[in-house]
Structure 1
Amino acid sequence: MRVAIITESFPPDVNGVAGSVLRAADHLHARGHEPLVIAPAPAAGMRAVTGALPYPVVRVPSVPMPGYGRFRLGLPSRRIAAALTAHRPDVVHLASPFFLGGPGARAARELGLPTVAVYQTDVPAYAKLYPGFGWSAAAAWRWLRHIHNGADRTLAPSTASATALHSHGIERVWLWRRGVDAVRFDPAHRDADLRRALAPNGEVLVGYVGRLAVEKRVELLAPVARMPGVRVIIVGDGPAAAAIHKAVPEGNFLGVRKGDQLARIYASLDVFVTPGPFETFGQTVQEAQASGLPVVAPAAGGPIDLIDHGTTGFLVPPDDGDALTDAVATLVRDTELRQRMGLAARAVVAGRTWSAVGDELIGHYRAIQRSMTLGAA
């Protein structure tokens, strides 16, 4: 198949949308298909990865998102329709469509191309959290409803996301979860030298990996960082970095880490925490589980599907800092419990390969192609 992926974000950006699109395009190419990626141009000074990829990437003009300047918003451009016309795709994949996805969906519709819309970002929640966003939550849902109901199929990453989409009038929703690289993220990468550097007195290492942004609620780790015998490790960067440094002064901030270095950090932790209640899936939860860690997360969004409460970690009420701290404290006190939960977590995610998930995605493409063929007949 020839597939055009129109995405709101792509490397060098570091976020869930960019990462999953890269995985999808790589998988399509590996399976002998012909992907094309259409994405916002990166910020000045950020080197695009286009030249290193075995498929074309078309960049469209972009501007910084108000209140979150590191995230670029793709602008409507004639390049979208021109790229689709030149590539002649069998299907168009709209990745987390909102800004660039709107004109992308329109261009696909005008060309009579089938579309799959993949829901990944809780934009209505962002509308509440970022005053400069320019949209109300209600307006964001109206726009999402327009885009997704114009697509042939919507793919949701979790049961909570699918329920939210249905409740806001979005139709034709299927589940499509994410894979995890259980070879890269593996307990075998636990690094004794790294642990000595991060926990010189043998402290229990409690970690967070992800963007440092308002919606991630990383400041809820402040009481954990003050626990005796605990070191909080924070990996990532983002627009709220300065505020989070101030809120969690005892934290050890490592900045952005990738690849094998990130895998060693995960495996060298003892407990993983993701405090934010707006995760549509929770990829870092899977990476932590593959690394053999128990996970503490809010009982909201994607983590509900990923964490078996009491077996692979703990789900706590959203935005309840005391409950989150108590759950972490339970794991800090009980080495055997941490190990048992970590083993169970690793076993749960071992079969969730990106290859299997990529083949599921191709199955969705095939399904809408068949529907269009039957409709035409």
Structure 2
Amino acid sequence: MVLGMFWACNKADVLFTDSSITEDPNVTYWDNYAVALSTYKLDTFATTGDSLFVLGTHADPLFGKTSGMAFAEINHPSQNPLKDQNVILDSAAVVLVPNGNYYGDTTAPFRLNVYKLTRLIGDDTASSATYYNPATIAYDNSNAIATINTRVAPLRKDSLFLKLADDFAQDLFDQIRNNVNISSNQNSFRTYLKGICIATDSSYNKALFQFRGASGAGLIRIYYTLKGLYNEHKYFDLTYNASKQFNHLSYNYTGTPMASFSPLKSTITESTEMQNTALLSNYLPSYIKITFPDILNVKQTYLYVKVVKAVLEIRVNSTGNAYPYQLPGQLWLYISNLNNQVSAVVTDPLDAQTPQTGNLVVNSLVENGTKYTFDITSYINTLIDEGRFSTKALLLSAVNNNYKSETSRLAVFNKADDPDIRLKLYVLGL
């Protein structure tokens, strides 16, 4: 299922009341027409070639525990500044730069370990193939070549320096300086160093962060001294192969509303089986499926029925969406079929080329003041016209619907006496 489509993302105003409508005696108003919710989770997704390192662990009380680790093949140096030079090693480190996206508590300590791969990336697939989660590569987890205990400041984007073990760093330095084949030939270099795994400590970490390499594609930085009349302190970066870099995300839903889900299977579950909760996340990824099982009942009273306005209101429950979690800045409503395949996106009623994005209003001073709204008048009339054979449904998704663009999640509680999601209907009956 592909949920990415291309439109300009402009806000559309959604009006709740219209005096000309409410004053018409033939118009019936429902403040909270029945809405049914489900959570739809995909089975797998591509993690190759994003130049992105997703690292850490976070236990979300609603969405479960998510852990991220990354694998990368290291390139031989395109230029060798050590060859035929009087140089000595100072140190070497894996350098990671936060890109600003995070999931969880950024104030807690953070620990990472670096290991050598014991198998080449691409051995089990074509060199141009895409790795899909939960793909992984064997690594030597008995001997970390770097470890860091620190705190990450994702918004400041301060670099992390994971100092490599002295013996490993010295051997790498010597091989680049002295071994012509390893320093100039990628096949020889990747035989010497198959790649690295950067792993989370899942029992220690409380947040998941996203990182880039240093100076673009740089990953391992080697600091050295060029000896001479005046010593010069220098460094150079070993880059990684973006087509052979991928992430591995693992999930544990035990003790959460998602406990019935399998991390490796596409699943759809009704909110009534999930503690009256529906969950949207771009780290799983998951979407909220919306249906209106009783919508045809509006035809029972009148011979002629026309919905003159239908507004879907999604209130943000502060209990389930509080700090440290981030709301999606914009949402899309996709029109889907029985198999959850999307055919279109709900657009602005005044501009069919512009998708509605939920028109998020943030007001923490008023109860239920933070909410998204969509005008779905056209969609509801289509459901009524198609009748009981209609297989249409709505899928609620973040506009940036994968973890590579945005780290956000939304929990919608669908309790019978006070649902977070409401359909407001103005129906003309004659």
- TM-score scaled by structure 1? 0.29
Instruction: Give the structure with the larger strand fraction.
Output: 2
Q: Which has the higher contact order (CA 8 A, sep 6+)?
A: 2
Instruction: Give the structure with the larger helix fraction.
Output: 1
